[in-house]
């Protein structure tokens, strides 16, 4: 039987550890995937290449699909972020992060079920930074009508497909009247012209964050520009157990790249203790995406088997250290494999 080719980028830090564990589970679940392993990030530089080698980019374009481990981005110096480059070069303009409570993972709130949608290509991530004088530096927040409309359309379409009820835009248009003003105006326009059946509201981001940590149940789908989306994704991860349990996907018209919300976690890298669940859940999203676009029921089947197995494992108290358990990365992967239906 044929398999779907997908690029696999192990990444840096805990990346290779969580990637290995994820691939083991996918194989045990008979997911019909053939991995094309490629380098990016520090690993690519250490192998003597660019941070994002042309071969890696071309293969993602060819196969339209990748599962990516976290890649290191040094703070304040060195090469530019491979994550940002990848999103820009492949025009992966929509990032989606489902944030859901999990069985056996105790947190302040029960039944959290949010989807964070982040514009992935512009805003302060445009990288237009200048030194004007010795003591004055500036960063340009680039916001275009086309990108704001594009992400608003994407978000409302996605919310409709997922049968979600409401979209809330977090913004700071009271201060950034022109840039964030454009973002909310585009969202309002797309809502009122094309998706009046979905509820729509807005929150100024500071107040929105306060409301989120007081009562996340009042939100459904959150739509944010790039930097706010980055920050609020981590905040939301904290509502359901942390960065070890929140998956992500980056969608464009030509390709989709699936990756955990977390970074390379240098503090625990190489110890074999990272939680592989966030990347495993991202791989499940990849299988569901394949089911949708390729209509291959084997992908849907593998996705739901893996989801059942990790929920069962967590419910049985099988947890890695970040969740208060004692399992290492391999042991957790084994616990999931043992529970595959």
Residues in contact with ligand ATP by CB under 6 A are 14, 18, 70, 72-73, 243-244, 262-268, 274-275, 278, 322
CB of 137 to ligand ATP, least distance (A): 21
Nearer CB in complex with ligand ATP: 76/111: 76
CB of 82 to ligand ATP, least distance (A): 10
**CA 170 to CA 180: how far, in whole Å?**
9
CA dist 50 → 35, 41, 63, 335 (Å): 21, 8, 21, 37
Contact 97, 236 (CB under 8 A): yes
Nearer CB in complex with ligand ATP: 18/112: 18
For 286, the 3-state DSSP assignment is: helix
- Name every residue whose Cβ is closer than 8 Å to that of residue 227 and which is 6 or more positions away in sequence: 123, 124, 125
Q: What is the DSSP letter of 1?
A: -
Do the strands 33-37 and 256-259 form a parallel or antiparallel pair, or are they unpaired?
A: unpaired
Nearer CB in complex with ligand ATP: 135/267: 267
φ, ψ for residue 329 (rounded to 5)? Answer: -60, -50
**CA 333 to CA 310: how far, in whole Å?**
9
Nearer CB in complex with ligand ATP: 222/243: 243
CB of 86 to ligand ATP, least distance (A): 14
CB of 225 to ligand ATP, least distance (A): 20
Residue at shortest CB range from ligand ATP: 263
Nearer CB in complex with ligand ATP: 39/173: 39
Nearer CB in complex with ligand ATP: 18/96: 18
CB of 244 to ligand ATP, least distance (A): 4
CB of 164 to ligand ATP, least distance (A): 27
Do the strands 94-100 and 249-251 form a parallel or antiparallel pair, or are they unpaired?
A: antiparallel
């Amino acid at each position: 039987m044929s398999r779907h080719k997908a690029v696999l980028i192990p990444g840096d830090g805990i990346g290779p550890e969580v990637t290995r564990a994820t691939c083991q589970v996918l194989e045990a679940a008979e997911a019909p995937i053939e991995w094309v392993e490629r380098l990016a990030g520090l690993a690519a530089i250490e192998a003597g290449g660019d941070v994002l080698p042309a071969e890696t980019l071309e293969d993602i374009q060819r196969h339209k699909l990748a599962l990516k481990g976290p890649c290191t981005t040094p703070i304040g110096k060195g090469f530019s972020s491979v994550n940002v480059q990848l999103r820009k070069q492949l025009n992966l303009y929509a990032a989606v992060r489902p944030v859901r409570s999990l069985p056996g993972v105790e947190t302040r709130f029960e039944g959290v079920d949010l989807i964070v949608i982040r514009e992935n290509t512009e805003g302060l991530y445009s990288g237009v930074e200048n030194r004007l004088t010795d003591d004055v530096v500036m960063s340009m927040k680039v916001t275009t009508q086309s990108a704001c409309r594009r992400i608003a359309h994407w978000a409302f379409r996605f919310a409709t497909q997922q049968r979600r009820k409401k979209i809330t835009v977090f913004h700071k248009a009271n201060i950034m009247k022109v840039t964030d003003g454009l973002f909310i105006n585009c969202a309002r326009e797309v809502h009122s012209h094309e998706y009046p059946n979905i509820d729509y509201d807005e929150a100024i981001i500071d107040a929105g964050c306060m409301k989120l940590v007081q009562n996340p149940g009042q939100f459904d789908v959150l739509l944010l520009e790039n930097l706010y989306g980055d920050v609020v994704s981590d905040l939301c991860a904290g509502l359901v157990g942390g960065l070890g349990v929140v998956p992500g996907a980056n969608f464009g018209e030509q390709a989709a790249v699936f990756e955990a919300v977390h970074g390379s976690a240098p503090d625990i890298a190489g110890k074999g203790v990272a939680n592989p669940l966030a990347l495993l859940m991202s791989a499940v999203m990849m299988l569901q995406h394949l089911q949708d676009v390729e209509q291959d029921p084997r992908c849907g089947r593998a996705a739901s088997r893996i989801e059942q197995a990790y929920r069962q494992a967590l419910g049985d108290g099988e947890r890695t250290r970040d969740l208060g358990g004692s399992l290492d990365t391999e042991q957790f992967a084994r616990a999931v494999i043992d529970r595959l239906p």
